[in-house]
A and B are shown apart, each in its own frame.
Chain A
Amino acid sequence: MGKRSDEETADGAEQLLDLPRLLAERGVSRRDFMKFCTAVSAALALPATFVPRVAQALDDIKRPTLVWLEFQDCAADTEALLRAANPTVAEIVLDILSVDYHETIMAAAGHQAEEALAKVVKEQKGKYIAVVEGSIPLRDGGVYCCVAGRTALDTARQVCGNAMATVAVGTCASFGGLPAAAPNPTGAVGIKEAVPGATVINLPGCPLNADNLTATIVHFLVFGKLPAVDSHGRPLFAYGKRIHDNCERRPHFDAGQYVEQWGDEAHRKGHCLYHMGCKGPETYHNCPTQRYNEKTSWPVGAGHGCVGCSEPQFWDAMAPFYRRLPQVPGFGIESTADKIGLGLAVTTAVAFGVHGIASAFRHGDKSEGAQEDTDR
């Protein structure tokens, strides 16, 4: 697959990548590089003993090409990439990937830009990585998204169909996202549905956390395969646990300490946002640990509930965003958990944990009366 130094590449003139030298040329010390490898290994939840292996593998890698396609998008995933943590080295690793097509950043325009894309597909068939941002409209022959006179579907079939692997960045490219929200006016779908034959990994989030993109690509280059995924095609290293289970406010949930009004004392003291509509109990994402903008913060940490943006169809399944997750008072714990599971059948397969519900009944809702439990 053109990733290891002992393999031939299509481009004979291509020099084998000497990463330490390349990094040195870009002012990155070996120490910085090892820090990056440690960070990536941590994001991938690899044990520390893997750090040298990551570094060794990256040292050996040739320079694969990456093309980044934007369809029905808002460019937030592109912007997320620009804010990536471990930026100095991460940018270089992405740069090392030879980003040959990316509309938002590339210097060329018009047919010169399209030529660059065509060249990659023609000359590096099966050897490049495609990244897709935004959904693909299928209705009416795909007229709702055209670039250079071609439909998104046409371009996606060609580019993703011939790629070594396709990474769907953000919820739109993964599952259709906002354009696919009811009533899905343009017939928008994610890339896997649009091009079923492509090898796709989904990195949802609105936008995605760019650390997860870096980690996925490094995983692919280091281990020669995509990371293990869940039933929605999301890598387990980033989407294997519920936000609720890693949330820094979890002790307050367990203790029945909830924010009831924006700006109240509980809000100021960092208590649980469950009553304000937080969807953390139904959302699989590594936000609490990975955080955003070089680990500065994340939604719950900054006082606003999770809206479940990494879940399929969250725009419909999780809305209204400020309504608390459904509860039915007066039933047994197991029954409640089942109902919640049914209510969210389109989202996650695993229902609200029995432990959480038990705690909620024990500490919060019961004592505050049935009125507190009505859903609006």
Chain B
Amino acid sequence: MTKIVVDPITRIEGHLRIEAEVAGGRVTDAWSSSTMFRGIETILKGRDPRDAWYVTQRFCGVCTTVHSIASIRAVENALKIAIPSNAELIRNIIIGIQNVQDHVIHFYHLHALDWVDITSGLTADPAKTAALAASISDWPLNSPTYFKEVQDKVKAFVAKGRLGPFANAYWGHPAYKLPPEANLMATAHYLEALEWQKDVIKIHAILGSKNPHPQTFLVGGMAIPIDPDSQNALNADKLAEIKRLLTKAGEFVEKVYIPDLLAVASFYKEWAGIGGGVGNFLSFGEFPQQGGGQPWLPAGVVLNRDLGKALPVDHRKVTEYVDHSWYEYSGGAGKGLHPWEGESEGKYSGPKPPFQHLDTSGKYSWVKAPRYEDQPMEVGPLARLLVAYAAGHKPVQDAVNGVLGKLSVGPEALFSTLGRTAARGIDCLLIAREMPKWNDQLMDNIGKGDYAIHNGEKWDPDRWPAEASGYGMHEAPRGALGHWIRIRDQKILNYQAVVPSTWNASPRDAKGVRGPYEAALIGTPLADPGKPLEILRIIHSFDPCLACAVHLLDARGNETLKVAVR
């Protein structure tokens, strides 16, 4: 038996380390650790709750809107503020394009190189590549000339002898299965997606000044004014530009991303049986509908892979354990705390750096172990779709069944690496199709003379109660996100975020139950433990985003490892 370490896990946001035991060519046990910590929730204490969205936005610069959304929802929930219809629609568009852009970037720029061997594409026949592309999509760029140009560019790059970010990778690894033509097609679209993503996200700049980190959110609404008769507000010109960009976003998803996803997946069907995980799924639901009621994608819990029913979500059932995380609770070990009662006594007890291995029998991560009714939960696009599927959401059922049919696999294939990666594509497609409706509804409102973007009744903190508690739920691209806030005397008393990668990257809990990454790695075959490509495939299928997954720290800290610096 050997113990392998993959640190850093690259092509993710944040700092993630995987340690795994390997015997007989398979992973027999695994530990997920986050090795970076900032203490932002401690920094939030005592601040103006209206500023919290701007602070929490910096949890993550990749999913750059999600913590702003969860934060303003938490404060609005605490202070019982209803926001105008226009603000809700603008938020929906911002959330929607964040999801769509993020999923495409994940597929091409963070995940694809686990499946696509760029160097193999150098030997592809451009004409055959064009024929392959034409067989799956009528995307206008698909031509022998185009693929020849891309191939020549890559050849010229390789000929320089310095591969830059593509150096030292697992090229030629036996687990790569795509023919050269498919590799070349995917490489071309890797480059195209790089151009596309910076264009479509201009929707954030139009509505919110810039991306990353749009500066536009307000407790009570949004900061972009609406006035068709002003050049300094959201007007017909800007709405038309948003519409154009939404169309551009949707076309790429329909004609490039989804066809590529299906084509690549068809060569890796064995991955429908690898990387299953914990089998429990949580979604907080997303996209408030006009007129209230249930969100467009429902909230719910699916337990033990039972798609027969989606259980209702109750935020009070969320707790966090720290038995294997570098924190201590005042009430002692072995208990989970609800975020409103969340504690932040950080205590690093890992090895003194530089180190080779963590003490995985003890505490080994800055990520806490969140549990729902004491069960580990997987969150993300797969969870979102499975909950909707189980709840009888027709568009989701049709889309999921359609993809399963095209790949000739059954529903059990969903609980896997491939299922997770395919679900992200379906999620992206469904949202891309829904977004223009929100833009149309916004135009309808404006046409009727409704320009409201903010409810200012409680903007002034003097109108707040002395104490208030609230929570804000959101389905981020990476899944269920919750912020919990307690306000006292107009200031933040306590602030806790339980984020998607906290759920998925969770270490073991008090009972030793593994988190989703850890569980998903068990049994994975490794062709070459020195080049653990298969581990990257599974971990990347969750789309890790670690900076935000890490929690608080006691400001007093642990002084035992003090060394002279500077």
Contact = CB atoms under 8 A, between A and B. Distances in A.
Interface in B5-21: 5-15
Interface stretch (B209-217, B271-279, B282-290, B396-404): B209-217
Contact of B8 (A84, A109, A196, A206): A109
A296 B206 contact: yes
A69 to B, nearest CB: 11
B9 A143 contact: no
Interface string A147-162: 1111101100000000
Contact of A302 (B15, B113, B118, B223): B223
B54 A270 contact: no
Interface stretch (B71-79, B152-160, B315-323, B329-337): B152-160
Nearest to A171: B58
Contacts of A22: 156
B323 to A, nearest CB: 19
B51 A76 contact: no
Interface string B37-53: 11110110001101100
A95 B164 contact: yes
Nearest to B53: A321
Contacts of A339: none
A261 B454 CA distance: 9
Interface stretch (A43-51, A183-191, A214-222, A351-359): A183-191
A153 B60 CA distance: 22
Interface string B355-367: 1100000000010
Contact of B353 (A26, A113, A150, A322): A150
Interface in A283-308: 292-294, 296-304, 307
Contact of B453 (A137, A262, A300, A376): A262
Contacts of A79: 61-62, 64, 211-212
A262 B561 contact: no
Given A262-B221, A292-B211, A98 B164 contact: yes
Contacts of B51: 319-322
Contact of A147 (B15, B42, B220, B348): B15
Contact of B48 (A102, A137, A263, A320): A320
A140 B356 contact: no
Interface residues of B, number: 115
- Nearest first, the 9 closest Cβ-Cβ pairs linking A and B are A76-B61, A270-B232, A185-B39, A107-B169, A292-B210, A302-B209, A262-B454, A268-B227, A141-B561
27 contacts: A73-B547, A76-B213, A79-B61, A84-B198, A91-B194, A100-B164, A107-B118, A107-B165, A108-B10, A108-B170, A138-B565, A141-B563, A143-B350, A154-B353, A185-B346, A185-B554, A262-B218, A262-B453, A268-B233, A268-B451, A292-B205, A293-B198, A299-B209, A304-B223, A315-B55, A320-B51, A322-B50
Given A75-B61, A76-B213, 10 more contacts: A105-B11, A116-B168, A182-B43, A186-B37, A194-B566, A297-B206, A298-B210, A303-B209, A320-B47, A322-B50
Interface of B: 5-15, 35-40, 42-43, 47-48, 50-51, 54-55, 58-62, 64, 105, 109-110, 113, 118, 149, 152-153, 156, 160-162, 164-171, 194-195, 197-198, 201-202, 204-213, 215-216, 218, 220-221, 223-227, 230-233, 346, 348, 350, 352-356, 366, 451-454, 456, 459, 461, 531-532, 536, 547-548, 552-555, 557-563, 565-566
Interface of A: 13-15, 22, 25-27, 63, 70-80, 82-84, 87-88, 91, 95, 98-116, 135, 137-151, 153-154, 178-179, 181-183, 185-188, 193-194, 196, 206-207, 261-263, 267-270, 292-294, 296-304, 307, 315, 319-323, 376
